[in-house]
Homo-oligomer: A and B are copies of this chain.
């Protein structure tokens, strides 16, 4: 009967998480109280805390789940022959997945700029989410056979990850209908990013590449 118990437990946890996300979507993160979350999930406040040690912990759980959900969805689109296609597909999958939560994601990213906050995408707590992202970009590079200069190889996935984070930030702010502006920006910028990567292999542009690399190294050091 242990299995049944565990299942029940997971179910309750899920119920609370769902209730929380629903309220976050409707009213925002800060505006939602744990009491309301518990009420919505039809459990006692204390129980919500039994499963999630804090309100922030719920958000972490959401990230974690997103990571797990996205894995297969991204694997599915890792098929394009061209790097540009891959980038577009990978990022679009994420936008699609997060779309229902776009508005309150903004409130969460609020914490993102705060170096001390555990919800920051740069913080330790979200490291495996970031690791998975990096791996996906690395895979897109290798599987499309994109030629990358040796000195850049180690850095490029991280640069692409930052490019992605920038787009996501823009997307959160994007008030245009259906976030069309983000869609246009994604297309135009992906084209440029790929062009730049290709250019970076030209021997003639070696000095320029070194300059950029210097910047990247300072950032990552």
Binding site for B on A (CB under 8 A): 28, 103, 106-107, 109-117, 122, 169-170, 172-173, 175, 181, 184-185, 188-189, 191-192, 195, 211-212, 214-215, 218-219, 221
Contacts and interface: CB of A to CB of B under 8 A. Distances in A.
Oligomeric state, in copies: 2
- Looking at A116, A117, A184, the one whose CB has the most chain B CB atoms below 10 A away is A116
Contacts of A112: 110, 113
Given A110-B113, A110-B117, A122 B173 contact: yes
Contacts of A103: 116
A197 to B, nearest CB: 15
Q: Which 4 A-B pairs have the closest CB atoms?
A: A110-B114, A109-B113, A115-B173, A185-B218
A194 to B, nearest CB: 12
